[in-house]
Amino acid sequence: MKINRILWGIVLILLGVIIGMNSLGIAEIDIFFKGWWTLFIIIPNFIGLFNKRESLTGNIIGLIIGITLLLVSLEIMSWNLVSSLIIPFILIIIGLKMVLNSTFNNQVSEKFKNFNKNNVEEIAVSFNEKRINKDDEKITSLALDAVFGSINLDLRKAEIDKDCFIKCSNIFAGSKILVPKDVNVKLKSTGIFGGTSNKKDNNKNNKKTIYIESFCLFGGLEINE
């Protein structure tokens, strides 16, 4: 997204200015302060908040973790305090995920009422990898389940005559779905120490939509074209 490039550009400009000022003796700004390494967690997750393709909940969690580690490194917070807050933090995250999923995923949930459980093609893998090409095959409903493995599904040349549905579960696994350019993707994602990355650009002129419901536990799903 354009906003992501702008934000990363600002970060690089500020870093360049600081290094330049230090080199010229204009300032003495220590970029290697206590906990400086936490910026590698904080900055990407903060910028990710402005990317609609990324998991909002995942970026919020990452941002909270990064800020907490920074405060501990600066000795503003203690590890004892952090350990005492772990349980309430987990409860807040679970509640946050429930609220965000209910708020932003109503459309996908509503559409999935049309998911035909009696006419679904099931693809499962465990402790293995599957590469599946659906060239010239008609697609309506799919269920992907990966456990300690991966599924790479190529739908770019599949026959998609109308809206179709995909349920994908990744548990300690990573999968990828490639979709045609002439479809839109609507996503409902739930991630616990994992998440879904949707890199597909939607176009209002596309007449067909693929609705994807994704669950990731210590795993991930990438959607691309």
How many domains are there within the chain?
2
**CA 192, chain centre distance (Å):** 11
Clarify whether residues 94 and 175 are in a common domain. Answer: no
Stretch 126-135: mean pLDDT, rounded?
88
- What's the pLDDT score for residue 111? 62
> Which of the four pLDDT bands, split at 50, 70 and 90, describes residue 115?
low
Domain closes at, from 56, 89, 105: 105
> Which of the four pLDDT bands, split at 50, 70 and 90, describes residue 48?
confident
Clarify whether residues 89 and 180 are in a common domain. Answer: no
- Residue-number span of the structural domain to which 182 is assigned: 107-224
- What's the pLDDT score for residue 79? 82
- What's the pLDDT score for residue 8? 75
CB-CB contact of 141 with 116 (8 Å) = yes
DSSP one-letter string for 25-91:
TS----SS-TTGGGHHHHHHHHHHTT-TTS-HHHHHHHHHHHHHHHHHHTTSS-HHHHHHTHHHHHH
Stretch 52-57: mean pLDDT, rounded?
59
- What's the pLDDT score for residue 177? 92
Domain closes at, from 71, 105, 139: 105
Q: Compare 100 and 150 and report the one with higher pLDDT.
A: 150
Amino acid at 88: P
Clarify whether residues 156 and 180 are in a common domain. Answer: yes
- What's the pLDDT score for residue 119? 72
Closest to 164 measured CA to CA, from 131, 104, 213, 201: 213
Clarify whether residues 153 and 116 are in a common domain. Answer: yes
Cα–Cα distances in angstroms (integers) from residue 143 to residues 122, 169, 199, in the given order: 5, 8, 20
- What's the pLDDT score for residue 51? 65
Q: How far apart are CA 3 and CA 43, in angstroms?
A: 14
User: Does the pLDDT at position 58 exceed 80?
Assistant: no
Look over the chain and give the mean of its residue pLDDT values, rounded to a whole number: 80
CA angle 55, 213, 161 (to 5 degrees): 120
Domain closes at, from 60, 84, 105: 105
> Which of the four pLDDT bands, split at 50, 70 and 90, describes residue 101?
low
Note the pLDDT tens digit of each residue in 27-44. Answer: 787 777 888 888 888 888
Clarify whether residues 131 and 181 are in a common domain. Answer: yes
